[in-house]
């Protein structure tokens, strides 16, 4: 799975508009004007908070976990800068993940958040504003206090057109922000009755004004920045590795949301050219845990001497979050790919069943929906809530979207694949393309059609080899280009591709919100450096986005998300590939060296395998290792 990056973190921060239920009777009060105000230690987007105001720790941690040791993780997501504010820099994956925010999400509730840098959160019934009381103890890594001025400064940074999406999404919902007290600020929103609004600022990374105001935030830097959080940046080499060192003076080390977490003295992130090298690093003990995304590699683990000696453990962790949509993206900004008939023709040329049996070993299922493993999957015919949106755009949508359930072509045999290619040929002819000398000719240019395909790994050539061969039968040439993750992200941000095997970087959230606009909206399609790689621009989806973001009931959110899923699938903007893991949906397969202690309960949502924040180093287990012991 790919590492988080500047543009992927926008999705991890995005939440949905859902039913608001107050935290509890202890949290309610009334202001001077008679408006009912809720003040609490946490906020639930819908449902009730699991943990009360006096909770001591989350249930999925060991509150007495010892500190110490080093955790090493190998990945293929590179970095070239330590500036995680602007889109010109490629910051380390973990840099933002290890930063404090006003509130912290719990990992055993669907959408519940608890104060960290803030002490309390207050808001009225219409959610037109939210007020945070800051914890006077909160400091940055250099000891400088975190104040309202820093939050306001971060919001101002978000107005910079070069700011990362994780910051710019804040502006979309903001009316104004004000403070007359260093430890209190009020944020006014440009809409009301949206249950996700309190989380917009609450999950925003906090940038220290005293550090950045004297520096150029638009330039890359290799100077370790001042950060709020449990770790500071230690040794590093851009593109190779970075170490995060636990801060023994971290102000919130005993905070209820942190107790039992961040137990390693050092978290080291090693960068490898491709996944095969990262796998070998794990096999030799240079990495301590691996997410098993390759069936053959996972099956061969037991052949390793360390596994036979019981020093490598394999496990499957249940997860409740949605399944990542793994796909081959088509850039519809390109004239050739702007035609739905062409995109459908390309989809018909991909034989998943052959790939599954021949390349993947038969252990993967196909994830056909953008929101698999969630209630947002569009299935069957559209329901009344979906039709309320879709009917307004009937003239711009494929007629079958109203009469047929979503489906996808099936291959796996010569007969089916031939039938699919014949249908693809007819679609290309209908779109105005003809074959001359075995080449598909673009009537706009008179030149043969040749597509660039970007990939984050050269190993994926096996997965698309038959697809490329089938396109050649249709007269379409393909240039397969593999590059490292930094180059891949740069070209993806600039939409400099025709087809792209973009490693998926987020799972569908149970509480999607305004951040979805950076992936699905027409506005995002027309702006650089968004996550709308496919260039999707659909009025029906824009309408569904607006309804989802402003919804005050759960069913409206579900209907809007299903419209988005249904329209994208019927318009063939991407070719769905396999489930990321060779396991059933809802299971995360991992292998790890038996040097850790683990809590009795595993977090159900978004297991953070890169930081492994709830596990700890066990020196007794470490001493028993004969393979892979690394100093």
pLDDT more than 90, % of the chain: 60
CATH 3.40.228.10 fits 9-64+76-212, yes or no: no
Q: What is the pLDDT of residue 605?
A: 83
For the chain, give the mean pLDDT: 87
| Local structure of 196: helix, strand or coil | coil
Q: In this model, does residue 165 exceed pLDDT 80?
A: no
Which two three-digit tokens encode residue 91? 């910051």
Task: Return d(Cα 31, Cα 25) in angstroms, integer.
Answer: 16
Q: What is the pLDDT of residue 505?
A: 59
| Local structure of 604: helix, strand or coil | coil
| Local structure of 455: helix, strand or coil | strand
Confidence of residue 503 (pLDDT cuts 50, 70, 90): low
Q: Residue range 582-593: average pLDDT?
A: 88
pLDDT more than 70, % of the chain: 92
Q: Where in the chain is the domain with CATH 3.10.105.10?
A: 327-407+416-576
Task: Return d(Cα 527, Cα 452) in angstroms, integer.
Answer: 21
Provide the strand spans (E) within 53-212: 70-75, 103-105, 112-115, 118-124, 129-134, 174-181, 184-189
Q: Where in the chain is the domain with CATH 3.40.190.10?
A: 9-64+76-212
Q: Which of 163-172, 393-402, 604-613 has the lowest mean pLDDT?
A: 163-172
Alpha helix ranges (H) inside 456-605? 461-473, 485-493, 517-520, 522-525, 539-550, 554-571
| Local structure of 13: helix, strand or coil | helix
Task: Return d(Cα 522, Cα 532) in angstroms, integer.
Answer: 9
The architecture CATH gives domain 327-407+416-576: Roll (3.10)
pTM of the model: 0.74
Which two three-digit tokens encode residue 369? 């929906």
Q: Residue range 567-573: average pLDDT?
A: 98
CA dihedral sign of residues 469, 471, 477, 481? negative
DSSP, res 15: -
Residue showing tokens 């971290």: 250
For 353-402, what is each residue's pLDDT tens digit? Answer: 999 989 887 778 888 999 988 889 999 999 999 999 999 999 999 999 99
Q: Tell me how far apart the terminal alpha carbons of the chain are, to the nearest angstrom.
A: 27
- HEC string of 384-442? HHHHHHHHHHHHHCCHHHCCCCCCCCCCCCHHHHHHHHHHHHHHHHHCCCEEECCEEEC
Task: Return d(Cα 27, Cα 447) in angstroms, integer.
Answer: 68
Which two three-digit tokens encode residue 510? 């149970």
Asked if 590 and 344 touch (Cβ cutoff 8 Å), the reply is no
Helix (H) or strand (E) holding 28: strand 28-30
Task: Return d(Cα 530, Cα 187) in angstroms, integer.
Answer: 25
For 92-132, what is each residue's pLDDT tens digit? Answer: 888 888 899 999 999 998 789 999 999 999 999 999 999 99
* 446 Cα distance to chain centroid: 41
Q: Which of 155-159, 396-400, 446-450, 598-602 has the lowest mean pLDDT?
A: 155-159
The bridge status of strand 70-75 relative to strand 266-271 is parallel
Measuring CA to CA, which residue among 101, 14, 83, 89 is closest to residue 506? 14
Q: What is the pLDDT of residue 271?
A: 93
Asked if 536 and 518 touch (Cβ cutoff 8 Å), the reply is no
Asked if 201 and 132 touch (Cβ cutoff 8 Å), the reply is yes
Measuring CA to CA, which residue among 47, 50, 53 is closest to residue 195? 47
Asked if 139 and 100 touch (Cβ cutoff 8 Å), the reply is no
Asked if 203 and 99 touch (Cβ cutoff 8 Å), the reply is no
Task: Return d(Cα 8, Cα 342) in angstroms, integer.
Answer: 29
Confidence of residue 10 (pLDDT cuts 50, 70, 90): very low
Q: In this model, does residue 6 exceed pLDDT 70?
A: no
Measuring CA to CA, which residue among 235, 227, 275 is closest to residue 251? 227
Partners of 86 in the beta sheet?
A: 163
Q: What is the pLDDT of residue 12?
A: 32
Burial 325-359 (b: 16+ CB within 10 A, else e): bbbbbbbbbbebbebbbbbbbbbbbbbbbbbbeeb
């Amino acid at each position: 799975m790919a590492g988080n990056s500047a543009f992927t973190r926008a999705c991890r921060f995005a939440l949905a508009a859902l039913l608001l239920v107050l935290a509890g009777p202890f949290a309610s009060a009334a202001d001077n004007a008679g408006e009912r105000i809720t003040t609490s230690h946490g906020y639930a987007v819908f449902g009730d908070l699991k943990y009360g105001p006096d909770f001591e720790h989350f249930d999925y941690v060991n509150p007495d976990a010892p500190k110490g040791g080093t955790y090493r993780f190998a990945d293929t997501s590179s970095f070239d800068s330590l500036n995680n504010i602007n889109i010109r820099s490629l910051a380390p994956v973990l840099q933002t993940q290890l930063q404090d925010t006003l509130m912290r999400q719990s990992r055993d509730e669907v959408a519940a958040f608890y104060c960290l840098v803030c002490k309390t959160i207050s808001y009225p019934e219409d959610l037109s504003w939210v007020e945070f009381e800051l914890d006077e103890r909160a400091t940055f890594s250099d000891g400088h206090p975190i104040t309202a001025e820093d939050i306001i400064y971060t919001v101002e940074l978000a107005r910079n057109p070069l700011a990362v999406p994780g910051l710019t999404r804040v502006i979309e919902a903001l009316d104004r922000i004000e403070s007359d007290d260093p430890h209190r600020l009020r944020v006014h929103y440009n809409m009301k009755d949206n249950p996700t609004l309190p989380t917009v600022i609450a999950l925003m990374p906090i940038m220290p004004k005293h550090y950045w105001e004297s520096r150029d935030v638009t330039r890359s830097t290799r100077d370790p920045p001042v950060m709020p959080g449990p770790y500071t940046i230690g040794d590093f080499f851009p593109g190779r590795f970075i170490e995060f060192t636990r801060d023994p003076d971290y102000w919130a080390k005993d905070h209820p949301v942190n107790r039992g977490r961040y137990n390693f003295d050092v978290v080291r992130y090693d960068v490898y050219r491709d996944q095969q090298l990262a796998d070998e690093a794990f096999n030799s003990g240079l990495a301590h845990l691996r997410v098993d995304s390759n069936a053959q590699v996972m099956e061969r683990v037991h052949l390793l001497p360390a596994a036979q000696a019981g020093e490598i453990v394999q496990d499957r962790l249940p997860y409740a979050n949605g399944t990542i949509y793994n796909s081959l993206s088509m850039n519809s900004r390109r004239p050739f790919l702007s035609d739905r008939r062409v995109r459908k023709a390309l989809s018909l040329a991909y034989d998943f069943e052959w790939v599954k049996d021949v390349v993947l070993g038969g252990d993967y299922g196909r994830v056909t929906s953008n929101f698999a493993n969630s209630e947002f999957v569009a299935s069957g015919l559209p329901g009344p809530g979906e039709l309320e949106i879709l009917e307004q755009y009937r003239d711009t949508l494929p007629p079958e979207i109203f009469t047929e359930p979503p489906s996808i072509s099936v291959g796996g045999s010569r007969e089916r694949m031939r039938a699919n290619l014949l249908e693809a040929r007819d679609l290309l002819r209908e779109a105005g393309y003809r074959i001359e000398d075995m080449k598909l000719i673009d009537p706009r240019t008179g030149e043969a059609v040749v597509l660039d395909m970007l990939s984050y790994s050269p190993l994926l050539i096996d997965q698309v080899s038959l697809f490329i061969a089938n396109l050649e039968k249709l007269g379409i040439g393909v240039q397969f280009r593999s590059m490292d993750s930094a180059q891949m992200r740069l070209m993806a941000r600039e939409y400099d591709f025709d087809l792209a095997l973009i490693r998926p970087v987020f799972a569908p959230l149970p509480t999607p919100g305004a951040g979805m606009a950076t992936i699905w909206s027409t506005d995002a399609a027309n702006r650089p450096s968004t996550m709308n790689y496919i260039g999707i621009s659909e009025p029906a989806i824009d309408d569904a986005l607006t309804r989802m973001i402003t919804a005050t009931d759960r069913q409206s959110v579900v209907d809007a998300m299903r419209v988005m899923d249904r329209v994208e699938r019927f318009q063939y903007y991407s070719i769905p590939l396999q489930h990321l893991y060779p396991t059933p949906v809802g299971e995360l397969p991992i292998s790890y060296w038996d040097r850790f202690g683990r809590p009795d309960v595993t977090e159900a949502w978004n297991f953070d395998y890169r930081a492994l924040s709830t596990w700890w180093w066990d020196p007794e287990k470490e001493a028993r290792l004969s393979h892979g012991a690394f100093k």
